[in-house]
Structure 1
C-alpha cells in the first residue's frame, strides 16, 4: 500500500455524522462534523484515509493483476484459463478469493496485497482452477498442485488466518487461510448464485 499522505482536516458545522474525503494536490482533504470527539475523529479519519489509499492502489494495480493471471494461465493451464476480469476487493474479509466460472470473473481480497508473491500466485492458481472444476475434489487437486508451492502457500495462509483469529467456519464457503476443502463464512461483494461461484481458499 501507499505511504500515508498529508491529511488536511476541515471541521464543518453543516455535517452531523458522516465524513468525506477527496484528493487535492497529493493531500487527502477530510471533512469532519464539528464537535466530534477527538478520539472518534482520529479513528474515523484514519479509516477513511486507508479506504482512499486502498481504492487508489486497486485501480493502479488492475493491469498488473491481469498480467499475473495471464502468466499463471500460460504456465500452469496451457493458456486456457482466460478471465473476463480479475480484480482486488476490499469487501472480501472472510475469504482470500472467489471465482464466478460462468462470468469468468475472479476477485481477490486486498488483504493478500502484503503477502509474498508465491502466496498470491497460489491463490490465483486456486481461483483459475475453478474455471474448469467447481468443487475441490481430486480433479481440482490435480490442477492446483501443478503449482509447486501450492501446499506451502495454503499452510502459510492457515497461519495468517490463525493469527488474525478468523471466526469459526460456517456452511458453504471457504474462510481465509483454510485448506481448500474447509468450509467458511461468505463475505461476497455481491449476491452470488452458488452454481456460478466458488469462495476460496
Structure 2
C-alpha cells in the first residue's frame, strides 16, 4: 500500500463522511462536492500533510456553513418571513397571511390558501425546486388572499402577472411534475404531487 494513497476516506468530527482525492493534475486549487453520500474534497497531490489537513478542514467548514444556511431557509419560520417580503413587494401588504408553513401531507397540489383562516400551506415537494419557483407558488397563494372574491378571475390573474417569471415558473412546475410522476411510476409508487392549486373558502 503506498505511503500517500490517491484517496482516503474518513469521518469528520460530526460523523460527516469525507473522501480526500489527491490529484497529480491539480497544482493549487482545492474543490469539494457532495457525491456518493459523502463530501469529496479534491486536493493537489503535492501538498504536505499539514497544508492538506488545513485545506480539507476549510472545505468541511464551508460545507457545514452552506448546509446550515440551506436548512435554515427550509423552516416554516423562514417561509413565513419570505411570504411577508413577497406580500410587500407584489401586493403592498394587502394579503396579510396569518401563517405560512411547509406541509408534508399536501399530496395533490403545490400550495393552498385558506381564505377564512388566512393561512397558506406549501407542499414540501417544492423544497426540491429553486427559490424563485417557491416564490412563485407563494405569490400565487398570496394573490388569493389579496383578491379573495376573485377565484382565478381577471383580478387574480393581473395580480399574479406581477411576478416577473410567471411563465417560466409555470413551465418549470409542469416539467417538474411530469418528471416526478415518471420517477414515481418507475419506482412503482403513485405520484403524490402533480397539481398546482386548490383553495379553501
TM-score category of the 2 structures, normalised to the smaller one: 0.5 to 0.7
Q: TM-score, normalised by structure 2?
A: 0.54
Select the residue among 152, 157, 176 that pairs with 2:194. 176
Q: Which runs of 4+ in 1 moved over 3 A?
A: 57-60, 175-178
Q: What are the within-5 Å matches in structure 2 for residues 133-144 of structure 1? A: 133=148, 134-144=150-160
The equivalent of 2:171 in structure 1 is 155
Q: TM-score, normalised by structure 1?
A: 0.54
The alignment of Structure 1 onto Structure 2 pairs a total of residues equal to 122
> Which is bigger in relative contact order (C-alpha 8 A, separation at least 6)?
1
Alignment RMSD (CA, Å): 2.7
| Unmatched segments (≥5 aa) in structure 1 | 7-56, 168-174, 181-185, 187-193, 197-201
Q: d(CA) in 1 for partners of 2:139 and 2:120?
A: 11
Matched, 1:98 2:107: no
The answer to whether the 8 A contact 2:72-2:78 is kept is no
Matched, 1:120 2:130: no
The equivalent of 1:29 in structure 2 is none
Computing the radius of gyration from Cα coordinates, the structure with the larger value is: 2
The answer to whether the 8 A contact 2:112-2:200 is kept is no
How much does 1:59 deviate? 11
Residues 69 and 59 of structure 1: is their aligned pair in 2 closer, same or farther, counting only changes over 3 Å?
A: closer
Q: d(CA) in 2 for partners of 1:59 and 1:89?
A: 15
How much does 1:165 deviate? 2.3
Q: d(CA) in 2 for partners of 1:59 and 1:92?
A: 20
Q: d(CA) in 2 for partners of 1:72 and 1:84?
A: 14
| Unmatched segments (≥5 aa) in structure 2 | 1-13, 16-70, 185-192
